[in-house]
A and B are shown apart, each in its own frame.
Chain A
Amino acid sequence: MIWNEHYECMERESLMKLQGTRLKDMVERVYYSVPFYRSKLQDQGIEPGDIQSIDDLKKLPFTTKQDLRDNYPFGLFATPRQDVVRLHASSGTTGKSTVVGYTHNDIMMWSEVVARSLTMIGATRDDIIQVAYGYGLFTGGLGLHYGAEKIGASVIPISGGNTKKQLQLMEDFGSTLLACTPSYAAFLGEALAEEKIDPASIKLKAGIFGAEPWSEEMRSQIEKLLRIKAYDIYGLSEIIGPGVSMECHCQNGMHIFEDHFIPEIINPDTCEVLPYGELGELVFTPATKEAMPLIRYRTRDLTRLHADKCECGRTLVRMEKCVGRSDDMLIIRGVNVFPSQVESVLLEMSETKPHYLLVVDRRNNLDILEVQVEVEEQFFSDEVKELENLRHRIKANIASVLGLHADIRLVEPGTIERSMGKAQRVIDRRKLQ
């Protein structure tokens, strides 16, 4: 099913024309209403008239997360504050948080892209959607909420946490769709088994999971635990929130709603634009945003784009699951490490579960990576040699994937904090030194 065939199946040529018009309009708006952009464009000798088509996008300067921090809180707003009807903010793990604003039209547009996303996986007004993303400053909960209401589904705005209640309502209300972070979905799946709830009494058929990187192994794990199809939704608050792109039933990448969010892939070091199919940093220009349009926002996410037509009939480009967010990427002894790589290793081994914590430290000027893995009942052996065997196998598998030796520390089950929202996977002690 397609929510908005006109835009989702548009000929690529017409789409690019539309993008050009919208880009031109946006550049004009920010030039006259955002001092930060005006001076940035003037520095590069660009005037609004220089932007005539989508091909001119590459002339424009980039925007980074640091620019958002520097203009905290409302410095990048392109409309009077009175026109802003909603504010969201990201938790600032390092320093100040970043604030995003939405006008009424922005909220409508956001609901539209989430409505498209939900329709993409077959959701209709017949569905009951349990939104277990956090509601609040985080965009996940409210983002899904409005889109789900738009398609006429029944929304359970339960927010994150309170696992017992989640399971109870899932059973009592007969939720057919679940929206939350993949780590919480896996947690709910385990809780379902622990509470000995008969999976037949649960009507869930699919899940919409995003807001943190997750692996294909994690997907099969969730699908098995909850007996559902697990779909990937992508988004970031700087661009809109969830609903920037979404996987269709063909599951060969996430369709980007390009009529609103113009994507590019660049080489993160040289900033050169890369062709379709090449791995690089994802950059977005949300051209129709009113309150906070951004020019070429660098997401730090690494992925590839594919433009060949999808079997579902959509012409929108597809982005691959992100290899990792360059923010999550750890550089350990010069090697790039993504937590998701460790996760794949643990999920591939039948004895381990994906509860893990990476602790990076520096001793005698040498980076040290410790991976904490929980010893679950099923693979707990009461013989030291068996446990040591397991530890060595984990160590070897991680070494072969990361190209780096990690110390494996077996810890008791339940020691690693379960997350109701985004999972905390890394403690980097080097930053504290």
Chain B
Amino acid sequence: MIIKQLSVFLDNRTGRLAELTGILAANDINISAFSIADTADYGILRMIVGRPELAAEVLKKHGFAVKITEVVGMIVPHRPGGLHKALQVISDSNVAIDYMYAFATGDCNATAIIRAESMQKLVEVLQEHKLELLKEGDVYQL
């Protein structure tokens, strides 16, 4: 249930992000989702890609600071209060969320990528409440 996310350190230089996406494109690696957490000086790019290990390797070869982190992808039911219910469950179980970001998928559903302090506990809680999680198998080809 845990999926692999690629995190990359980027300093705020023009064209740096395009350089990165160019490298991934050249290696035929698909980006399914991404978000950037930025500060004044630098940003942390987080993304879900096809073939994360290969992506990490080629980016490292090009001098990027890359890390593979574990996250879960939770399918958010497409109805009012859908996201709220999920977050309520997590909050009630005292699982601290480090960060999350969401993206829409083709079928009108949304997927939330969540990173929590304790990933194991997060997965347990979500499964216990029958929330649908992305599996590794389908996530890399989103």
Contacts and interface: CB of A to CB of B under 8 A. Distances in A.
Interface of A: 375-377, 380-384, 387-388, 409-415
A410 B69 contact: no
A383 B16 CA distance: 20
Contact of B60 (A377, A387, A410): A377
A377 B11 contact: no
A380 B67 contact: yes
A382 B64 CA distance: 13
A384 B67 CA distance: 14
Contacts of A384: 37, 39, 44
Interface of B is mostly: strand
B42 A410 contact: yes
A379 B10 CA distance: 14
Ranked nearest first, the 4 interchain pairs of A and B with the lowest CB-CB distance are A382-B7, A414-B63, A380-B65, A411-B11
A377 B63 contact: no
A91 B112 CA distance: 58
Contact of A375 (B16, B60, B65, B69): B65
B45 to A, nearest CB: 9
A412 B65 contact: yes
Contacts of A381: 67
24 contacts: A375-B9, A377-B60, A377-B66, A380-B9, A382-B5, A382-B7, A382-B44, A382-B67, A382-B69, A382-B115, A383-B98, A383-B99, A384-B37, A387-B39, A387-B44, A410-B42, A411-B11, A411-B42, A412-B10, A412-B11, A412-B64, A413-B64, A414-B63, A415-B11
Contacts of B10: 412
Interface in B52-73: 60, 63-67, 69
B138 interface: no
Most buried by B among A375, A381, A412: A412
B46 interface: yes
A413 B65 contact: yes
Given A377-B67, A410-B41, 18 more contacts: A375-B42, A377-B60, A377-B65, A380-B66, A382-B5, A382-B46, A382-B67, A383-B44, A383-B99, A387-B9, A410-B11, A410-B42, A412-B9, A412-B10, A412-B11, A412-B16, A412-B64, A413-B65
A413 B63 contact: yes
Interface in B72-127: 98-99, 115
Nearest to B63: A414
Given A382-B46, A411-B11, A388 B63 contact: no
Contacts of A375: 9, 42, 65
Interface residues of B, number: 22
A412 B44 contact: no
Contacts of A377: 60, 65-67
A415 B10 CA distance: 11
Contacts of B69: 382
A383 B115 CA distance: 10
Contact of A412 (B7, B63, B67, B115): B63
Most buried by A among B46, B63, B65: B65
A136 to B, nearest CB: 29
A163 to B, nearest CB: 15
Contacts of A413: 63-65
Interface in B27-57: 37, 39, 41-42, 44, 46
Contacts of B9: 375, 380, 387, 410, 412
A411 B41 CA distance: 8
Nearest to A379: B65
Given A382-B44, A411-B11, A388 B39 contact: yes
A387 B8 CA distance: 12
A91 B63 CA distance: 31
Contacts of A411: 11, 42
Most buried by A among B41, B60, B69, B99: B41
Contacts of A382: 5, 7, 44, 46, 67, 69, 115
A213 B5 CA distance: 42
A382 B63 CA distance: 17
A410 B65 CA distance: 12
Contacts of B67: 377, 380-382
A410 B44 CA distance: 12
Contacts of B46: 382
